[in-house]
Structure 1
Amino acid sequence: MVKQILMRIFSSSLDAFKVYKLSMIKFDECGNYTDMSLDGDSLSLKGCEWLEESTFMATIIHHLTCLQQIEIYGFLSAVSFQANCLPKSLQKMEITKCRKLEFSQQQHKYDLVELQIKENCDSLVSLSLNAFPNLKTLLIEECSNLESITMSEPPHTALQSLTISWCRKLVSITEGGLAAPNLTHLCVKFCDKLKALPCKMDTLLPNLQSLDIEYCYGISRFPEGGLPPTLKELHMRGCEGLLRGLSSIGKLEALTDLVINGYPCERIIKSFPEVGLLSQLPSLTTLEIRNFEDLETLECNELLRLTSLQHLQIQFCEKLENMAGDKLPSSLLLLQIEYCPLLGEHCRNKHQHVWPKIQHIPTIEFEDS
């Protein structure tokens, strides 16, 4: 019955031209049921056995000549895409929980602008950026067998945002360097086997503005040459080697936001920041320090090097109670102390060893629970 209804839609060119978004769901959390609906410009197909037939899927996509977005969820059989079967209008593809995902990466070029591959797409071992020359946004999440992102035809001039997370076997992001001159955002999280950030970042990523690295334990240092001088935001969490190497990344004159998360850190850090660690950040306006479980002392004189600092946030440093040195920077407008019970109490009580160093700050906020 559903198949007959679908064929009636395809027999009407007017209705087919209306469809800009196609959702194909083989199963969902509510059970395996059959349903089809056309709501405005969105066509949704759920729980239909014949959706698993690759020829039928190709027929659906072929008829929707104005299609711009496809969502495919929960297919157990092979999901294969041939570039010449996808309409030129297609811009975004989101694939979730499709274990046997296949792209013809060697022979075809895809016109996609955005690609998301998420959750248990186990057959994906390597993805070539060469196959997606127009891709602006790439997100890969929880693909347990992904080992590499490759590129043999640099540069990739379209790519603007790359996010890779929870890919436990990933060992390489373009061995020769990620040549993406228009990339502005790079995020890598929970990739245990990744040993290094892409090489030559300072020259191959001349427009990078945001870098987010979390829980990539194998990365022990920043790439040779340091980070791109255009970088405005840097977030680091669970990367002890990178924390130690902060002082060697060069002068980042554009950096305005820095988030440093100390958990987990094998090295006992009782005083922060260390001498020279934050010495070359003239434009830094926001600094967030989080989860240093052994931290006892905040070094005010080192923070005085941050002459543009306006917002300082300190979170989850339960042993922190001292401030060493003269005072915090005079440029500060907001100090937030959250879940740091000892330091918070000293500030509230205007302790003689703490209060003189922060009393010039217009706004001071506390949060303990």
Structure 2
Amino acid sequence: MSQFTSCLLEDLEIEECPSLTRFPSGRLPPTLKRLKLQDCASLCSLPEGLMQADNNKYASYLEHLEIIGCPSLKNFPEGKLPTSLKVLRIWDCWQLKPLLDRMLPDNASLEYVDILKYSNLESLPESLQNLMCLVELNINGCKDLECFPEIGLPLPNLRTLNICSCDKLKSLPDQMLYLASLQYLTICDCPRLSFPRGGLPPNLLSLEIWYCKELKDPVSKWNLHTLTSLREFSIAGGPDMVSFPHECLLPPTLVSIYMASLNNLKSLTVSLQNLLSLEELEVVECPKLRNLPREGLPATLGRLCIRNCSLLENRCSRDKGEYWPLIAHIPCIEIVATDI
């Protein structure tokens, strides 16, 4: 062990070691910057020297920590995560007890947090607010996660927030409109979710809402027209819409729209003409969709994809469909027939 702690190791990856149960006691090499543990099915504990504690005279300078597919792992060691840590990824460690407030250091260097299938996570620690450098937060497959901290996510540098497959999550963080740096927001497969009080962050470039079936507010009340930097909008499943975008105003900055699995959507409306920057429109699996606007689609459109929309396919068929004169000017047209 003395040779291990004194070596000049900077990067350590341990993968697919089913017999590994624990690390030897003692510190990590002081030069270690990156530690990745993956698919170690019997691993029960993490290295003692991983965390910083008051009684630990050895500092850790770890910057990158990944723990993936270690189902026997139950606890972090006592102490706080290293203040030098920039990347934290925890995937598929279903017995691991959740991160506690005392484990996150104040004003940490953490820039990237990625959590997948963290079964014991019911709420996020309030000390998240101390992660002033955090740029990206991904939370996926946390089936027991119910809420964000009451204080919200006052993270001044957060640019990307992805929340997926959190069955019990009921609401997004309050005061999201104050996340002025947030540019990319993806929410997918959160069936109980409602929209945040106060509205969406004002400077979003990309918004994706997929399969959130219980959203109480219709799209028309999302105030998308206030998102004056929005370039990409993607929606699948979820709220009932008969026409689009007649019942919701969209910002003229949009470059790309993707719509899928909107089972009651019947019409695309003339309001699309107001989207003077629109370059790409993709519509997938909307079984009742049959109408395009008679006035045509925006002249800026470079790609139109209609896939598995059985009522619209023939009407848009090349040279024969009644809508072909309205779309023939588009450089790239993809009409994909409904699967049989």
Q: Does the aligned pair in 2 maintain the 1:215–1:239 contact within 8 Å?
A: yes
Which of 63, 67, 72 is 1:91 aligned to? Answer: 63
The number of residue pairs the alignment matches comes to 325
Which of 213, 227, 239 is 2:187 aligned to? Answer: 213
| Alpha-carbon separation, structure 2, partners of 1:311 and 1:21 | 43
Q: Where in structure 1 are there 5+ consecutive unaligned residues?
A: 1-5, 29-45
Identity %: 28
From the superposition, tell whether residues 229 and 268 of structure 1 become closer, same or farther in structure 2 (CA, over 3 Å).
Answer: closer
Letter in 2 for 1:206: A
What SS does the corresponding residue of 2:315 show, helix, strand or coil? Answer: helix
Structure with greater proportional strand content: 1
- Equivalent residue, structure 2, for 1:224: 197
- Equivalent residue, structure 2, for 1:289: 259
- Equivalent residue, structure 2, for 1:176: 151
| Alpha-carbon separation, structure 1, partners of 2:88 and 2:333 | 43
Does structure 1 residue 74 correspond to structure 2 residue 64? no
From the superposition, tell whether residues 290 and 123 of structure 1 become closer, same or farther in structure 2 (CA, over 3 Å).
Answer: same
From the superposition, tell whether residues 162 and 335 of structure 1 become closer, same or farther in structure 2 (CA, over 3 Å).
Answer: same
What SS does the corresponding residue of 1:168 show, helix, strand or coil? Answer: coil
TM superposition shift of 1:231: 0.4
From the superposition, tell whether residues 95 and 153 of structure 1 become closer, same or farther in structure 2 (CA, over 3 Å).
Answer: closer
What SS does the corresponding residue of 1:304 show, helix, strand or coil? Answer: helix
Does structure 1 residue 20 correspond to structure 2 residue 6? no
Across the aligned residues of Structure 1 and Structure 2, the Cα RMSD in angstroms comes to 2.7
- Equivalent residue, structure 2, for 1:348: 317
| Alpha-carbon separation, structure 2, partners of 1:239 and 1:167 | 15
What SS does the corresponding residue of 1:345 show, helix, strand or coil? Answer: helix
- Equivalent residue, structure 1, for 2:228: 253
TM-score by length of 2: 0.85
| Alpha-carbon separation, structure 1, partners of 2:165 and 2:100 | 18
Q: Does the aligned pair in 1 maintain the 2:51–2:60 contact within 8 Å?
A: no
From the superposition, tell whether residues 63 and 226 of structure 1 become closer, same or farther in structure 2 (CA, over 3 Å).
Answer: closer
Structure with greater proportional helix content: 1
Q: How does 1:212-361 map to 2 (within 5 A)?
A: 212-221=186-195, 223-240=196-213, 241=215, 244-250=218-224, 251-262=226-237, 265=238, 269=241, 271-277=242-248, 279-299=249-269, 301-350=270-319, 353-361=322-330
Q: What do the CA deviations read for 1:304-326 (whole angstroms, capped 9, x no partner)?
A: 23222111111122443322442
| Alpha-carbon separation, structure 2, partners of 1:78 and 1:94 | 14
| Alpha-carbon separation, structure 1, partners of 2:297 and 2:145 | 41
What SS does the corresponding residue of 2:314 show, helix, strand or coil? Answer: helix
TM-score by length of 1: 0.78
| Alpha-carbon separation, structure 1, partners of 2:18 and 2:60 | 27
Q: What do the CA deviations read for 1:144-166 (whole angstroms, capped 9, x no partner)?
A: 12101122474531100000011
